[in-house]
């Protein structure tokens, strides 16, 4: 089974006006989309509840909570990318979100200077701005994509 989303394809630089009516089909296996969403949900649940296993240290010294946060961000952005039709603005935004999610942990470690992400000298504020920006673009891309996917499914089932 695959999740199929139909979107009108348009060039990224076309602005608001649609230039073609070619239908683009997205095929992301339903199991993969559900698995990615489950990983993201597990990460959010773990962080929201302050689970004790988040403090466990992985080999190399990285706390499990930091790795799980990065994995959750990438899973959410990956879902948005996988469910977005090629050649659409939504796909480009999802790709930017995935890139930002993948860069979140290395940039955070570089800002902190340590794997535990302990900040000093005002870098904590910079890190918080970075976090809000990354989470905002990831959630924005995911919500936009899920809404458009559900709308396409609703339209298709309503028309059948």
- Asked whether residue 15 carries a pLDDT value surpassing 70, the answer given is no
The C-alpha atoms of residue 132 and residue 159 are separated, in whole angstroms, by: 40
Number of domain units in the chain: 1
The C-alpha atoms of residue 27 and residue 126 are separated, in whole angstroms, by: 38
Structural domain for 112, as ranges = 2-155
Q: What confidence score (pLDDT) does residue 11 get?
A: 52
- Asked whether residue 50 carries a pLDDT value surpassing 80, the answer given is yes
Condensed to tens digits (0 to 9), the pLDDT of residues 16-31 reads: 444 333 344 556 778 8
Does any domain span residue 51? Answer: yes
Condensed to tens digits (0 to 9), the pLDDT of residues 109-156 reads: 999 999 998 988 888 899 999 999 999 999 999 999 999 988 988 888
> Residue 8: pLDDT band by 50, 70, 90 thresholds?
very low
Q: Are 2 and 48 in contact (CB under 8 A)?
A: no
Q: Side-chain half-sphere of 18: how many Cα atoms within 13 Å?
A: 8
Does any domain span residue 104? Answer: yes
Q: Are 63 and 56 in contact (CB under 8 A)?
A: yes
Q: What confidence score (pLDDT) does residue 26 get?
A: 58
Condensed to tens digits (0 to 9), the pLDDT of residues 65-102 reads: 999 999 999 999 999 999 998 889 999 999 999 999 99
Q: Which two tokens stand for residue 28?
A: 């992301």
The C-alpha atoms of residue 65 and residue 6 are separated, in whole angstroms, by: 37
Does any domain span residue 160? Answer: no
Q: What confidence score (pLDDT) does residue 5 get?
A: 47
Does any domain span residue 118? Answer: yes
**Helix segments in the chain, DSSP class H:** 30-49, 64-82, 89-112, 123-159
Q: What confidence score (pLDDT) does residue 23 get?
A: 42
- Asked whether residue 2 carries a pLDDT value surpassing 80, the answer given is no
Does any domain span residue 55? Answer: yes
Does any domain span residue 142? Answer: yes
């Amino acid at each position: 089974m695959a999740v199929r989303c139909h979107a009108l394809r348009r060039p990224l630089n076309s602005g608001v006006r649609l230039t073609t009516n070619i239908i683009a089909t997205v095929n992301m296996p339903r199991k993969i989309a559900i698995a990615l969403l489950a990983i993201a949900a597990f990460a959010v649940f773990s962080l929201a509840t302050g689970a004790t296993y988040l403090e466990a240290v992985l080999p190399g010294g990285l706390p499990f909570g930091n790795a799980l946060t990065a994995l959750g961000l990438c899973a959410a952005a990956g879902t948005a990318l996988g469910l977005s039709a090629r050649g659409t603005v939504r796909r480009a935004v999802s790709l930017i979100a995935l890139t930002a999610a993948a860069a979140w942990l290395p940039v955070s470690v570089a800002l902190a200077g340590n794997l535990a992400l302990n900040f000093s000298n005002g870098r904590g504020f910079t890190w918080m701005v970075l976090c809000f920006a990354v989470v905002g673009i990831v959630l924005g891309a995911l919500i936009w994509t899920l809404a458009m996917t559900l709308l396409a499914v609703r339209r298709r089932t309503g028309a059948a």
